[in-house]
Amino acid sequence: MARYDFDLITLGAGSGGVRASRMAAQLGKRVAVVEESRVGGTCVMRGCVPKKLLVYGAHFAEDLTDALGFGWSYADVSFDWARLIAAKNAELNRLESVYNRILRDNGVTLLEGRGVVVDGHTVEVGGQPYTAERILVATGGRPSLPEVPGIEYAITSNEALDLMQLPSRMVVVGAGYIAVEFAGIFNALGVKVTQVLRGETVLRGFDADVRAALAEEMTRKGIDLRCETAVKSIEKVKGGYSLRLSGDETLETDLVMYATGRRPNSDGLGLEAAGVKLNEAGAVVVDEYSRTSVESIYAIGDVTDRMNLTPVALAEAGALVNTLYRDRPTVMDYANIPTAVFSMPPIGTVGVTEAEARERLGCGLDVYLSRFKPMRNTLAGRDERTVMKLIVERATDKVIGLHMVGAEAPEIVQGFAVALKCGATKAQFDATIGIHPTAAEELVTMRDKRPDPSPECQE
């Protein structure tokens, strides 16, 4: 008779939780997944997927305008936001059914409700205890809101994805990737967008040239960037909301969206009572094998706040299954993980920023930077420019950072990420023949180093 009800109980049916559960079940393990919301998790239901669908929808505004420069003409073009939201919701329903089928087809038991960890081998769901040899916490994260008077009037990215009508005016508070993505979506669809951010520009942590290029293009597209500005309070007024900003400036709008950070979903799960250590931000503390302070409890994905990207959670799930059930202890490799921002224009990036490289290498790096108008924009009459940047370690000639702002940047950088993962050198980039005419060929034709701005590094 089995000692436990299951070999593995997973809390959270998001990307990481479903991947780990499915892989363990395929190896003959008895697995259950606990989910209190929709199967699919943040990425599929409240994040990457629905957001990208809205980005596609918003891009048609620019595509239609650009088409005029290529000889197209049209009349009576209109946009129906509610139709886009309905189509997006239908796609999410389809994806949820796909995820449910993945669990069923692999023999994974779905326990619907909120899971609470009682001890190292017990999870309670709706008052019913279930036991397992191991427990996996994969509950993801959620938007967090600051303590500002009137914050109850603000929405987050969750609610923004389900608006049934567009506002005329909107304030987006925040400077991170979620903030710039939603600012771009709503601005392209005709909403007057003001973005309020505490820092000097958008996307703290990204390469400085990337940040500057995106801020310039956002401003060019009509987004009102209020940098080094804070929201002091929000009041509901007739016809909308009034924001008091630093310096006692007021700003009236129809909708306020906050995108000022996310918090691990660790509250109310019984983790600390069960002996699982959390850090000050509420993230589950794990070792290199994703084990928590309790030997039988593991955690992956955003709830650990290591690198909060869906593909990373998927890779962590694979590494965990290798470790636990394939007798192949696997440590997750976080080096050279590519990422994208689906802003307008989008960003693709892999490797280190110039600032990170300088901190590590001092004068021992070469920087190549190219800024140009893509061919499509010449006939379209669009002023938008593409920026590409390579950072090279001089001693080894290895390309250690690659950054792009411009159309198709995420698609292009995904391919070049393989090169960086393989340790490609600048000489190998130079020896690669470009595909002409493409924007991507610029990354293998850059020959002129940018002069070093530091006097001590100048030859």
**Rg of the chain's alpha carbons, rounded to an integer?**
24
* Residue 330 contacts residue 319 (beta carbons within 8 Å): yes
Question: What whole-number distance in Å separates Cα of residue 149 and Cα of residue 152?
Answer: 8
Question: What whole-number distance in Å separates Cα of residue 348 and Cα of residue 287?
Answer: 29
Kindly give the pairing relationship between strand 386-393 and strand 398-405.
antiparallel
DSSP string, 151-207: GGG-B-HHHHTT-SS--SEEEEE--SHHHHHHHHHHHHTT-EEEEE-SSSSS-TTS-
- Region of 216 (left: φ > 0; alpha: ψ -120 to 50; beta: rest) is alpha
DSSP state at residue 46: I
Alpha helices in 234-384 (DSSP H): 310-325, 354-361, 375-380
* Residue 355 contacts residue 389 (beta carbons within 8 Å): no
> Which listed residue (59, 121, 403, 436) is catalytic?
436
Residues 6 or more apart in contact with residue 400 via CB below 8 angstroms: 351, 352, 357, 365, 391, 392, 393, 420
Angle between helices 177-188 and 208-220 (to 10 degrees): 20
Residues 6 or more apart in contact with residue 444 via CB below 8 angstroms: 429, 430, 432, 433, 434
Catalytic annotation present for 121: no
Q: Where are the beta strands (DSSP E) in 190-270?
A: 192-196, 224-226, 231-237, 240-245, 250-253, 256-258, 262-264
Q: Is 226 helix (H, G, I), strand (E, B) or coil?
A: strand
**Residues classed as catalytic:** 436
